[in-house]
Amino acid sequence: MINFKGMRFPIDVILVCIRWYAAYPLSYRHLEGMMEERGVSVDHSSINRWAIRFLPLIERMARKHKRSVDRSWRMDETYIKVKGVWKYLYRAVDKQGKTVDFLLTAKRDMAAAKRFFDKAMGSNGDPDKVAMDKSGANKAAIDAINAGRDVPIVVRQVKYLNNIVEQDHRAIKQVTRPMLNFKSFRSAGSVLAGIELMHMIRKGQFEIDGADAMSLAEQFFTLAGLVRPA
């Protein structure tokens, strides 16, 4: 359960703001205006602090309810601008397009790719096969992992196989575009965790009792450990 003690605003207000920010292409100032129309006066800087503080916590809690993914992965990285400098968001989906995992890194090299695979495999188990582009760094990361395995992970560097993850990047970039430019690496990582969470909710990746009868908002509230009042 997330600790909301000491917050000046009701939990509902906080969760509505950060869910909207993670789910839709909005800026903090957009949300400030939207809340003002609903009779809630909240500064955009407060929403920013809420997003950075609570979105990664909710995403971490949600992992306990994430459905297992297929053992055939498609892995790729995309670019995210932080303080005017491009950083790298490593992502993988399975062959059905379900999100396997993600990791924001400062560099695009073998060490960063291996950190991503270590995280993804730690949370989702080991894949049988991984499709990726012709990146030597990504291949080197898998080679390093395979060096300690009796049964190696099969690597397929065939571009068309990765179309599914490249298309999936678009859903993330669509939401980040109005954010213009993250001000810090920490804030970028926190907000991206929320964006990825909302994307996985849309794809039905969580085991939640009664999820079929729930809206996306209700599923988010449930994963946050709360039941939203009617």
- pLDDT score for 1: 62
- pLDDT score for 178: 79
- pLDDT score for 170: 95
Q: Which residues of the chain have pLDDT under 70?
A: 1, 3, 6, 180, 226-230
- pLDDT score for 229: 41
Residue 100 CA to residue 126 CA, distance in Å, equals: 11
Type of residue at 130: V
Residue 138 CA to residue 84 CA, distance in Å, equals: 25
Spell out the residues 6+ positions from residue 87 whose beta carbon is closer than 8 angstroms to its own.
79, 80, 81, 104, 105, 106, 185, 188
- pLDDT score for 230: 39
- What does the block give as tokens for 130? 């991984």
SS (H, E, C) the chain: CCCCCCCCCCHHHHHHHHHHHHHCCCCHHHHHHHHHHCCCCCCHHHHHHHHHHHHHHHHHHHHHHECCCCCEEEEEEEEEEECCEEEEEEEEEECCCCEEEEEEECCCCHHHHHHHHHHHHHHHCCCCEEECCCCHHHHHHHHHHHCCCCCCCEEECCHHHHHHHHHHHHHHHHHHHHHCCECCHHHHHHHHHHHHHHHHHHCCCECCCCHHHCCHHHHHHHHCCCCCCC
- pLDDT score for 22: 96
pTM of the predicted protein model: 0.93
- pLDDT score for 71: 97
- pLDDT score for 227: 53
